[in-house]
Amino acid sequence: MAEQVKRPVKITETILRDAHQSLIATRMSTEEMLPVLEKMDKVGYHSVECWGGATFDASLRFLKEDPWDRLRKIRDGFKNTKLQMLFRGQNILGYRHYADDVVEYFVQKSLANGIDIIRIFDALNDIRNLESTVKATNKENGHAQIAISYTLGDAYTIDYYVNMAKSIESLGASSICIKDMAGLLVPYEATKLVTALKKAVNIPIDLHTHYTSGVAAMTYLKAVEAGCDIIDTAMSPFAMGTSQPATEVLVETFRGTPYDTGYDQKLLAEIADYFRPIRDKSLETGILNPKVMGVDIKTLLYQVPGGMLSNLVSQLKEQKAEDRYYDVLEEIPRVRKDFGEPPLVTPSSQIVGTQAVLNVLAGERYKMVTKESKALLSGQYGKTAKPFNPEVQKKVIGDDEPITCRPADLIEPELHKIEAEIADWKEQDEDVLSYALFPQVAMDFFKYRQAQKTGIDVTEADTINSAYPV
């Protein structure tokens, strides 16, 4: 029997970003990360995901840290390993669409401060919302990895994903990521999907999933056997549950096979030993809820991400309507269908979920609508895989004319205006971008930063009489 050709699977380590975002609400601090970076740098990872997603907001809002400073410090710690971030296309790391000049400047500064690979996705899989980011990344000689938001539904056939992959390759992406944020991709479907994508495109395929539904490690196994080049895993202390499968387990799974990573398990054990006390502390303080560490099969039953389920519970609890939980779960697919069947990922998951709650509690569908629902049905987020329900669209937006162009085409350049607004607080070029994404949160941080340096808390100042507390 002929010896199989060696094809070592590459691993993107998520413990510095998605793993702790998924399990402890993005609360791992920079100081907790730094001591172990030298060891992590010796593993041989394809890349380490360490920035973007919710880390930017959480650093400023909760940890009182400068996210740009975090990136520079992490870059200093990794001499040999590529650093990766998650980027929400035209939304950057925020929750609205930004002008192209802001997107381009953010990409430029991300790469200048140490990022190598930018994973770019759009909640609706609207390629137009990715164009500016990809163009800017390629201009700066970065690696643009475009993610396909994976979901289930009538529109989402193998052909749909193949056609999207071809469009992604044509756009100039360096690699493709299948981004399965809800843990919906089951093992044998992964075989079919990866096989089809490998035939359709020539650039590498990365698979990102979550352990929420319990199938992720098996899905990785079948995907790698089908030709998947890269998988996302997390070191064991912050693996499983709503995070990714454990790095050490996948390394051992592929040992002695053509997909052998060659990683040193003793080194991985030392890294795991470092993170375990951080995990234990998170459990003790309650930041790590044991519920998110288990398997939630409802994710597969209702095709709803685990985080979305917990949001629904809290919304219903606030309204003292917990008994309507299953009514809402049945309403979600109907709203999603009315809204063009978008993937349930930020922000579409919040829009669909909240609207489903309103429909159930109001006793009449679309009697009450959120401004986000109206914006989605107006085309302000982009184009969905299927058309909107015309009756629902008419009821919600009335006689308003929906937009059909790329949403960012309607946004005027805004960088100079933002720079003028924070001129008095700017200490580095990157402050402009922090303020652009989260104006109030960034301003609170700038005031905190100044207070740390001067000993004067400007939030306590009597600005009318120019007096400060002593």
Q: List pLDDT tens digits, range 380-418.
A: 999 999 999 999 999 999 999 999 999 999 999 999 999
Domain extent for 364: 304-404
pLDDT at residue 48 is higher than 70: yes
265-276 pLDDT tens trace: 999 999 999 999
Question: Is 447 within the bounds of a domain?
Answer: no
The mean pLDDT of 347-373, rounded to a whole number, is 94
Residues 359 and 219 occupy one common structural domain: no
Report the C-alpha gap between 239 and 430 in whole angstroms. 32
pLDDT at residue 325 is higher than 50: yes
**pLDDT classification of 312: cutoffs 50, 70, 90:** confident
Question: Is 439 within the bounds of a domain?
Answer: no
Can you give the pLDDT at residue 156? 97
pLDDT at residue 124 is higher than 90: yes
Question: Is 316 within the bounds of a domain?
Answer: yes
Residues 270 and 335 occupy one common structural domain: no
Question: Is 451 within the bounds of a domain?
Answer: no
SS (H, E, C) the chain: CCCCCCCCCEEEECCCCHHHHHHHCCCCCHHHHHHHHHHHHCCCCCEEEEEECCHHHHHHHCCCCCHHHHHHHHHHHCCCCEEEEEECHHHCCCCCCCCHHHHHHHHHHHHHCCCCEEEECCCCCCHHHHHHHHHHHHHCCCEEEEEEECCCCCCCCHHHHHHHHHHHHHHCCCEEEEEECCCCCCHHHHHHHHHHHHHHCCCCEEEEECHHHCCHHHHHHHHHHCCCCEEEEECHHHCCCCCCCEHHHHHHHCCCCCCCCCCCHHHHHHHHHHHHHHHHHHHHHCCCCHHHHCCCCHHHHHCCCHHHHHHHHHHHHHCCCHHHHHHHHHHHHHHHHHCCCCCCCCCHHHHHHHHHHHHHHHCCCCCCCCHHHHHHHCCCCCCCCCCCCHHHHHHHHCCCCCCCCCHHHHCCCCHHHHHHHCCCCCCCCCHHHHHHHCHHHHHHHHHHHHHHHHCCCHHHCECCCCECCC
Higher pLDDT, 4 or 468: 4
Residues 183 and 67 occupy one common structural domain: yes
**Domains in the chain, number:** 2
Ranking 2-16, 194-208, 287-301, 384-398 by mean pLDDT, the lowest is 287-301
**pLDDT classification of 298: cutoffs 50, 70, 90:** confident
Residues 107 and 243 occupy one common structural domain: yes
Residues 275 and 201 occupy one common structural domain: yes
The mean pLDDT of 166-175, rounded to a whole number, is 98
Can you give the pLDDT at residue 18? 95
| % pLDDT > 90, the chain | 86
Residues 224 and 353 occupy one common structural domain: no
Residues 85 and 190 occupy one common structural domain: yes
State the CATH number of the domain containing residue 69. Answer: 3.20.20.70
Q: Choose the final residue of a domain: 404, 426, 452.
A: 404
Can you give the pLDDT at residue 459? 60
Can you give the pLDDT at residue 3? 67
Q: Choose the final residue of a domain: 404, 427, 446.
A: 404
pLDDT at residue 470 is higher than 60: no
Question: Is 460 within the bounds of a domain?
Answer: no
Question: Is 195 within the bounds of a domain?
Answer: yes
| % pLDDT > 70, the chain | 96
State the CATH number of the domain containing residue 340. Answer: 1.10.472.90
Residues 153 and 91 occupy one common structural domain: yes
**pLDDT classification of 460: cutoffs 50, 70, 90:** low
211-224 pLDDT tens trace: 999 999 999 999 99
**pLDDT classification of 468: cutoffs 50, 70, 90:** very low
**Measured between alpha carbons, how far is residue 277 from residues 58, 155, 274, 282 in Å?**
21, 45, 7, 8
pLDDT at residue 458 is higher than 90: no
**pLDDT classification of 466: cutoffs 50, 70, 90:** very low
Residues 255 and 376 occupy one common structural domain: no
The answer, as to whether pTM is greater than 0.75, is yes
Question: Is 36 within the bounds of a domain?
Answer: yes
Residues 277 and 314 occupy one common structural domain: no
Question: Is 89 within the bounds of a domain?
Answer: yes
Residues 270 and 329 occupy one common structural domain: no
Can you give the pLDDT at residue 303? 80
Residues 339 and 203 occupy one common structural domain: no
Q: Choose the final residue of a domain: 381, 404, 427.
A: 404
